[in-house]
Amino acid sequence: MKKLIVFLTLFILMGGAVYSAEPIDVTFDDGIYHIILKGEKVKKKIKMYASPSLVTNEEVHKQSGAILTVNAGFFDPDNGKTISYVTMGSHTSEDPLLNENILSNPILRRNLQKILNRTEFRIVECDNKYKYEIVPHNTPVDFACTVTEAVQGGPLIIPDLRLEEEFFIVKDGDKIIRESCSVLHKVARTVLGIKDGDLHILIITDEHPMDMYEVQALCKQLGFERAMGLDGGSSTSMNYKDIYNVVSVKGDGTGRKLKSFITVFK
């Protein structure tokens, strides 16, 4: 009875309103933003966006009305076309096979299957319930489930770092003869992780640049069950409400123009 009286008193003092916790938690420490999307309701509010032309993260954030916007998949700066699959509203909106620069490059063409099967982040709907997945692109979905939103990036970081399997490095014996996306160098990074059903986003800024082995160590420390990289370096960018506007300081200050984005709405 006392608990009921206390609840009713609080309810009256609050004007009859019931407040729920903010589903997005953002912290900043030692050059790294750690964003957690908590709970089930936010899963329906995450949408991928692929722009017809290259635009900055901030432009998408303002024009879409999103409360959170981060950079996503890889793209070709020469022609503005995608190098990563993007799924929007259960339909493939961006397909790297339509990028003629990939198909005309003999090295990329020989490794096409590795590129096409790079890791992607998915939101999967099963019987009106939603879940996150971080899996290679060709991974089938469970029966009666649908991929509603997805963006490809790579490499997979947790449980295993798949640098060779996803054509981010090429070795000749023990010698590395080719590297993509500065995976072995210390640069800014955008990273996704899944833990206890929540989505974690790490924006690793130029204040604390990392190579992919350091990123993997951080993801293990944070207890991620699965984790993956997205486009990084000068593409690393994040906008949260009107509070944070993060771009690579190595750019011109306005942020690099990009192809695809992860947006979160109220």
Does the pLDDT value for residue 9 go beyond 80?
no
CB 188 within 8 A of CB 181: no
- Give the least confident one: 1-10, 136-145, 197-206, 210-219: 1-10
Does the pLDDT value for residue 124 go beyond 80?
yes
Q: What is the pLDDT of residues 76-105, one digit of tens each?
A: 999 999 999 999 999 999 999 999 999 999
CB crowding 6-28: b at 16 or more within 10 Å, else e: eeeeeeeeeeeeeeeeebbebee
Q: What is the pLDDT of residues 42-71, one digit of tens each?
A: 999 999 999 999 999 999 999 999 999 999
Does the pLDDT value for residue 222 go beyond 70?
yes
Cα 53 to Cα 76: distance, rounded to the nearest angstrom: 11
Does the pLDDT value for residue 159 go beyond 80?
yes
More confident: 57 or 253: 57
Say how many Å lie between the first and final Cα of the chain, rounded. Answer: 36
What's the pLDDT score for residue 58?
Answer: 97
More confident: 85 or 9: 85
Q: Which among 10, 74, 40, 33 has a CA at the least distance from the CA of 261?
A: 74
Cα 59 to Cα 70: distance, rounded to the nearest angstrom: 11
Cα 224 to Cα 202: distance, rounded to the nearest angstrom: 11
What's the pLDDT score for residue 21?
Answer: 61
What's the pLDDT score for residue 249?
Answer: 72
Q: How confident is the model at residue 16 (pLDDT cuts 50, 70, 90)?
A: very low
